[in-house]
Amino acid sequence: MIEVQSISKHFGAQQVLRDLTFHAADGQITALLGANGAGKTSCLRIITGLLRADSGTVRVGKIDVAAQPLAVRRQLGVVGDREGLYERLTVKEYLTLFARMQGLTGERLRQSLDEVRGALELEDLWLRRTRGFSQGERMKVSLARALVHRPQHLILDEPTRGLDVLAARLLRRTLLRLRNEGTAILFSSHVMSEVLELSDRVLVMAEGRVVGAGGPQALMREAHCDNLEDAFVSLAYGSQREQVEGEPA
């Protein structure tokens, strides 16, 4: 489980996260839904230990990220907002080296590589260098890198951005399989259809805090809307409007 407890974060004078609290349970897909600038990427970077929260705690599998960032990274698979590929390495080399960086060796390494190659249909790409790959191919390799050490927790930052239909389908199928195997999956998105189709739980973020949480159907009911987009607008911008209106003149 990923537990985020009361974290705040400033960049200079700008506060991007305000007392943010939520959790992403094992065997569930949790979506962070928010507009650009809502704080989704900063939140995910704090969970991975790339950024430090000004206050609050983050635990991944009960390990404190601030205290033991390296231990946390062994439990995490991360697909960032860019794929982070190395164009002069073949897919096989790339995945082998990142699996070894995660401590995999010998038979376990070979098995893991075989697994991700089959699961993500990488056979045709296996011995090719990643230069010139399509967006879908890049995403598949990046996802394979995040999964090669079989992490208990998976974090994805806008994973379907720029993907074609087939690649998006493969990604969805993979995430649902991992969810069923008990992996805690947390992903950020602002694509309503993707959130609706994939997520068990949605966290609506606005101005650095969670303004709504629950299953997609529950959120729609809470916002008295018949689609997730209207519910999101009502929850995200409604609270902002109330806040602005509530301020003294």
Binding region for another protein (CB under 8 A): 11, 16, 41-42, 45, 48-52, 70-71, 73-74, 76, 78, 80-86, 88-89, 93, 96-98, 100-103, 105, 145
As measured in angstroms, the least distance from the Cβ of 223 to another protein is 30
Q: Is the Cβ of residue 11 or residue 237 nearer to another protein in the bound state?
A: 11
Scanning the chain, the segments in alpha helix (DSSP H) are: 40-48, 69-75, 91-101, 106-119, 135-147, 165-180, 192-198, 216-222, 228-246
As measured in angstroms, the least distance from the Cβ of 118 to another protein is 22
Whole-number Å distance between alpha carbons of 232 and 203? 10
Instruction: State CA 70 to chain mean position distance.
Output: 18
As measured in angstroms, the least distance from the Cβ of 125 to another protein is 18
Q: Is the Cβ of residue 98 or residue 232 nearer to another protein in the bound state?
A: 98
Q: Is the Cβ of residue 79 or residue 213 nearer to another protein in the bound state?
A: 79
Ramachandran area for residue 12 (φ above 0: left; ψ -120 to 50: alpha; else beta): left
Can you tell me whether residue 164 is helix, strand or coil? coil
- Order of strands across the sheet with 14-24? 14-24, 2-11, 55-60, 63-64
As measured in angstroms, the least distance from the Cβ of 82 to another protein is 4
Question: Which of 156, 243, 176, 209 minimizes the C-alpha distance to 8?
Answer: 209
Q: Is the Cβ of residue 50 or residue 176 nearer to another protein in the bound state?
A: 50
Q: Is the Cβ of residue 103 or residue 215 nearer to another protein in the bound state?
A: 103
Whole-number Å distance between alpha carbons of 248 and 204? 26
As measured in angstroms, the least distance from the Cβ of 170 to another protein is 20
Whole-number Å distance between alpha carbons of 62 and 88? 37
